[in-house]
Amino acid sequence: MTDHYDAAIIGAGQAGGPLATALAKSGWHVALIEREHVGGTCVNVGCTPTKTMVASARVAYLVQRAGDYGIYTGPVGIDMAQVRQRKRDIVTTFRSGSRHGIETTEGVALIMGEAHFAKHDSNAADFALTIRLNDGGDSTITANQVFLNTGARPHIPAIPGLSDVSYLDSTTIMELDHVPQHLIILGGGYIGLEFGQMFRRFGSQVTIIQRGDQLLSREDPDVAEAVAQILQEDGIEVLLHAEVQHVNTSGDGRVQIKVGMSGMEQTLVGSHLLVATGRVPNTDALNLDAVGMKTDHKGFIQVNEKLETDVPGIYALGDVKGGPAFTHISYDDFRIVRANLLQNGHDHTTGRIVPYTVFIDPQLGRVGLSEQDARAQGYSVRVAKLPMSHVARAIEVDETRGFMKAVVDSDTQQILGCAILGIEGGEIATMLQIAMMGKIPYTAIRDSAFSHPTLGESLNNLFMTLDD
In this structure, the number of other CB atoms found within 10 A of the CB of residue 417 comes to 25
Above 70 in pLDDT, residue 70?
A: yes
Distance (Å, whole) CA 335 – CA 340: 9
Average pLDDT over residues 198-225: 98
Q: Report the mean per-residue pLDDT for the chain.
A: 97
Provide the pLDDT for residue 2.
Answer: 78
The model carries a pTM of 0.96
The 10s digit of each residue's pLDDT in 239-288 is: 999 999 999 999 899 999 999 998 899 999 999 999 999 999 999 999 99
Average pLDDT over residues 435-442: 98
Residues in the chain: 468
Average pLDDT over residues 154-176: 97
The 10s digit of each residue's pLDDT in 379-414 is: 999 999 999 999 999 999 999 999 999 999 999 999
Active site residue ranges: 452
Q: Residue 205 burial by CB count (10 A; 0-12/13-18/19+): exposed, middle or buried?
A: middle
Provide the pLDDT for residue 1.
Answer: 58
